[in-house]
């Protein structure tokens, strides 16, 4: 069994994102390319975003800190800490409305 404090990890990644020229920081906490489930904690500085992309399978975003906006075509959803956003099956991007950290989960 592995135990990870998402709160502590989010705090650490936010510090790194604020200092990084890219305005982002991330680490995979479970899974990987060889697994069907992959979970990555991602931190973005306010105003930064993940470029539009798509994933085969299911995608969720669990907001840990700050405020995010998920955009998929003409639709968008805002998320606050504790919110779980389920991404529709289409191209999407994640924007940082405020400095934020979230658990990005994908399942193939």
Structure confidence by residue, pLDDT tens digits, 66-100:
999 999 889 999 999 999 999 888 888 999 999 99
> How far apart, in Å, are the Cα atoms of 26 and each of 30, 39, 76, 90, 108?
12, 11, 23, 23, 20
pTM for this entry: 0.93
Quick check: 4 pLDDT over 80?
A: yes
User: What mean pLDDT, rounded, does the chain reach?
Assistant: 93
Contacts of 92 (CB under 8 A, 6+ apart): 52, 53, 54, 59, 70, 71, 72
Q: Which CATH number fits domain 6-107: 3.40.50.2300, 2.60.120.260, 1.10.10.10, 2.60.120.10?
A: 2.60.120.10
What are the residue boundaries of the structural domains of the chain, listed by start?
A: 6-107
Q: Report residue 43's pLDDT band, with 50, 70 and 90 as the boundaries.
A: very high
Contacts of 5 (CB under 8 A, 6+ apart): none
């Amino acid at each position: 069994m592995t135990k990870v404090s998402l709160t502590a990890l989010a705090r650490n990644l936010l510090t790194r994102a604020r200092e990084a020229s890219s305005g982002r920081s991330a680490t995979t906490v479970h899974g990987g390319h060889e697994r069907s489930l992959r979970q990555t904690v991602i931190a973005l500085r306010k105003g930064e975003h993940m470029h539009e992309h798509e994933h085969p399978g299911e995608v969720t975003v669990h907001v840990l800190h700050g405020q995010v906006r998920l955009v998929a075509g003409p639709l968008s959803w805002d998320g606050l800490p504790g919110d779980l956003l389920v991404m529709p099956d289409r191209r999407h991007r994640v924007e940082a409305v405020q400095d934020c950290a979230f658990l990005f989960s994908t399942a193939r």
